């Protein structure tokens, strides 16, 4: 494997830059939506201040995108001060298996669903119900969603080959399935 850690860092920062492009798009859409609400009376919040806040975040993402995608070497120098010619080879056998990545996806949803469950579970407690007609429905919906995601994430963490066995992917003729 003739890959240097420097190249991997460079790639990771560029992928982060592409994620910033998506965040930028989301913020532009939100700012445009809020701009149409500034003179309206139906919006419950302060549309103008929220719009300017979205514009500020958009400018931040614009700068982040530029630096991450086109000034990556500058950022690499700022974050990691080791030599650019450091040719330390990347040997990470654990990340070279599909099971590792399925577990990682499982852990991501595990954290997400536990946090979500924690945020709705207090509403099951009678003392915290301010408006039972509203909160019961909302609580049931969110508990169901988080519960299903929690269950599936546990399956992914505990049995990482389960998605491949359960859904029997059609293998390519020249390769076996789960190894990168």
How far is residue 26 from each of residues 13, 32, 43, 54, 73, measured CA to CA in Å? 20, 10, 20, 10, 27
DSSP per-residue string spanning 47-58? HHHHHHHHHHHH
User: Is residue 179 helix, strand or coil?
Assistant: strand
Cβ 78 to another protein shortest distance, Å: 18
Question: Whole-number minimum distance, CB 101 to another protein, in Å?
Answer: 5
Q: Which is nearer to another protein, 64 or 109 (CB)?
A: 109
Q: How far is the CB of 22 from another protein (least distance, A)?
A: 6
Q: Which is nearer to another protein, 127 or 170 (by Cβ)? A: 170
**Of 56 and 141, which CB lies nearer to another protein in the complex structure?**
141
Place of tokens 């508990």: 143
Nearer to another protein, 7 or 46 (CB): 7
Q: Which residues bind another protein (CB under 8 A)?
A: 1-4, 7-8, 11, 14-15, 18, 21-22, 25-26, 28-30, 32-33, 36, 69-70, 72, 98, 101-102, 105-106, 109, 113, 140-142, 144-149, 152-153, 156, 163-164, 167-172, 174-175, 177-180
- Least Å from the CB of residue 140 to another protein: 6
Alpha-carbon span 100 to 112, nearest angstrom: 18
DSSP-assigned states of every residue in 1-33:
---BHHHHHHHHHHHHHHHHHHHHHHHHHHHHH
Closest distance to another protein from the beta carbon of 83 (Å): 18
Check: CB of residue 33 under 8 Å from CB of residue 119. Answer: no
Indicate the residue among 78 and 177 with the shorter CB distance to another protein.
Answer: 177
Tokens representing residue 176 in the block? 């076996």
């Amino acid at each position: 494997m003739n890959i240097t850690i420097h190249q991997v860092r460079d790639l990771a920062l560029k992928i982060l830059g592409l994620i910033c492009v998506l965040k930028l798009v989301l913020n532009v859409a939100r700012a445009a939506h809020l701009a149409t609400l500034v003179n309206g009376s139906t919006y419950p919040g302060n549309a103008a201040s929220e719009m300017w806040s979205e514009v500020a975040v958009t400018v931040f993402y614009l700068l982040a995108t530029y630096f991450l995608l086109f000034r990556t070497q500058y950022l690499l120098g700022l974050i990691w001060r080791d030599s650019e010619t450091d040719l330390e080879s990347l040997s990470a056998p654990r990340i070279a298996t599909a099971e590792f990545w399925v577990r990682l996806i499982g852990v991501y949803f595990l954290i997400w669903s536990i946090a979500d469950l924690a945020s709705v579970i207090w509403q099951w407690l009678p003392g915290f119900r301010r408006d039972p007609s509203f909160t019961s429905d909302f609580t049931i919906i969110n508990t169901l969603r988080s519960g299903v995601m929690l269950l599936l994430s546990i399956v992914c963490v505990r049995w990482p080959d389960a998605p491949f066995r359960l859904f029997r992917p059609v293998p390519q003729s020249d390769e076996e399935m789960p190894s990168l």
